[in-house]
Amino acid sequence: MSSFVNKIHLMNEANQKLGIFDDMNVERNRNLIMVYVPPKVGSTSLVSSLRLFGNDKYTVLHIHNEIMLKVLYQIHDVSVLEIIEYNKHLGKNVFVVDIYRSPIEQKISAFFETIHTFHFNMTLEKLNTYPIEKIIKRFNCVFSHLANHDYYREKYELGEVEPFPVHDKYLLKEKNGVKYIKLRLKDSQDWWGILNGLFQIDMRVVKDYETESKPVRDLYQRFKENYRIPVNLLEEIKNNDALKFYYNEEERQEYIHSWERKRSHEYCRSYTAEEFALYNEVSVENQSFNETHRDHYIDMGCFCQACSVKRRKMAEKVKQGGKIEEKIIHEEAKIELVKEKVQQIKNQIPAMMAKAKRVKDIRNRNNPRSILGKSLTMF
C-alpha cells in the first residue's frame, strides 16, 4: 500500500472514530465545527451549547491536541490540522474555533485540573488536608510553564493575523476554505449573538464543567481566597504577548489592576525550563492513577432519537430561562424515553377504556335482542 493510499485510509478511519460521517444528504454531515483549543479556556461550555442547539445542523467536535486523539479515540499518525483539511477536501463546510482566556485564571484552572493526579499524585481527600500555603508554593513554582499556548496564532498556521477586533468581539480568518474563529472567554455572555450570526442557529450559552462544581471545589475555593500573586510573576503577566494582542490597552490595564489588588510583595522563583522538564518527567513516572474526561459535557453529541428528544426539551428549557442540571447521556436518555412512552400509554388507558365502554353501550342499544326486549316491556 502506497504512503498516499495509507494516509487516506488513516484519515477515513479517524473520521469514523470521531463520528464524522460521509452521507452529505444529511445536513449535520455537511457542516463541521471543530473546537480546537488549549485546555481550560471555557471550551466545554461552548461545545455543549453548540451541540444542544445545533446538533441537527452541525457535527461538533472538541479537541485539545494529538494526545487527546490517541488517548480518547485511538487515532495515531494523524494530526488535528490534517483532519480539518481532509474534511474540507471532502466538501464539508468546516469551522475551527479557538478561545482566549485571561492568563492567570487559565493557569489556575489548568493547575487544578490535574492537581491530585499529576502535581501531587494523591487522592483529593488527602490533598484537602494539606496547608494551602503548600498548594500555593507548588503553583508558583510551575506558574511560568502553565497554559502558554495560543492555538490561533501558533497552531493554525494562518500566517500574519490582524489585531483582535475588540468591538466585534471575535476574529475571523479564512484559509483554504476553512473559517478560523477566535473568541474571548470574557465575552462569553455575547457568544450567543456572535455564533447565531456565524452559524445561523438560535442558540444560548450554557455553563458546563466549571471548577466550582467539581470535587476539588473546596480546595479551589480556599486557594482563591488565599492566593496573592508574587510581584515578579505579575510583572511576567504584564509583558504577556497574548494579553496585549487580545485585550486593548484599557482592558489590559483593568485586568492588571484587578490583580495588583491581590499582589504579594514577595519574590517567588518559578522552575527554569530544565527544572520543569525534570518535574514533568518525574510527575508522569510517579502517577499512580489518571483521569481521562470524556463524559463531562452536558451534551455528548449523540443524535439518536432518545438523545434528540431530550436535547429539544433541554434547549427549550434554556430558552425559557431555566437552568440545566443534567446531562444528555445516551443510555440514560434511552431509559427516560421508554419510561415516557410507557407513561403516555398509561395515561391513555382511561380514555381508551371509556371509549370502549361507549362503543359497547352503542352496540348494546342497537342489538336486536335489546330492541325487542325494550319493545316487550311496553306491554
Which of these ranges, 20-34, 230-244, 309-323, has the smallest mean pLDDT?
309-323
Quick check: helix, strand or coil at residue 35?
strand
C-alpha–C-alpha distance, residues 299 and 245, integer Å: 32
Write down the mean pLDDT value for the chain: 87
Using the structure block, give the residue that is written with the C-alpha cell 472514530. Answer: 17
Mean pLDDT in residue range 161-175: 95
User: Please, how many CA atoms are within 13 Å of residue 280, restricted to the half-sphere of its CB?
Assistant: 11
C-alpha–C-alpha distance, residues 110 and 240, integer Å: 17
Kind plus residue range of the DSSP H or E element containing 36:
strand 31-36
What pLDDT is recorded for position 69? 94
Nine cell digits for residue 152: 490561533
- Sequence-distant contacts of 16-19: CB under 8 A, at least 24 apart: 17/73, 17/74, 17/75, 18/61, 18/73, 18/75, 18/83, 19/59, 19/61, 19/301
- For the cut 70, the answer to whether the pLDDT of residue 75 exceeds it is yes
Angle made by CA atoms 292, 294, 298, in degrees to the nearest 5? 140
Q: Comparing C-alpha atoms, which of 190, 181, 214 is closest to residue 40?
A: 214
Which of these ranges, 104-118, 199-213, 255-269, has the smallest mean pLDDT?
199-213
Bridge partners (DSSP) listed for residue 94: 32
- For the cut 70, the answer to whether the pLDDT of residue 367 exceeds it is no
**pLDDT band for position 379 (50/70/90)?**
very low
- For the cut 70, the answer to whether the pLDDT of residue 214 exceeds it is no
What pLDDT is recorded for position 325? 60
Classify residue 160 as left (phi > 0), alpha (psi -120 to 50) or beta: beta
What pLDDT is recorded for position 335? 73
- The domain ranges of the chain are 3-297, 302-379
- Tell me how far CA of residue 51 lies from CA of 45, 91, 130, 373, in angstroms: 10, 21, 39, 68
- For the cut 90, the answer to whether the pLDDT of residue 351 exceeds it is no
What pLDDT is recorded for position 253? 97
Over residues 112-148, the pLDDT tens digits come to: 999 999 999 998 889 998 999 999 999 999 999 999 9
C-alpha–C-alpha distance, residues 370 and 129, integer Å: 86
Mean pLDDT in residue range 213-222: 82
- For the cut 60, the answer to whether the pLDDT of residue 51 exceeds it is yes
Kind plus residue range of the DSSP H or E element containing 259:
helix 249-260
Q: What pTM, to 2 d.p., does this model score?
A: 0.80
- 354 vs 375, more confident: 354
Percent of the chain with pLDDT over 70: 82
C-alpha–C-alpha distance, residues 276 and 145, integer Å: 8
- For the cut 70, the answer to whether the pLDDT of residue 337 exceeds it is no
Percent of the chain with pLDDT over 90: 63
Using the structure block, give the residue that is written with the C-alpha cell 482566549. Answer: 100
Quick check: helix, strand or coil at residue 214?
coil
Mean pLDDT in residue range 228-247: 96
Answer whether 147's CB lies under 8 Å from 129's CB: no
C-alpha–C-alpha distance, residues 111 and 135, integer Å: 10
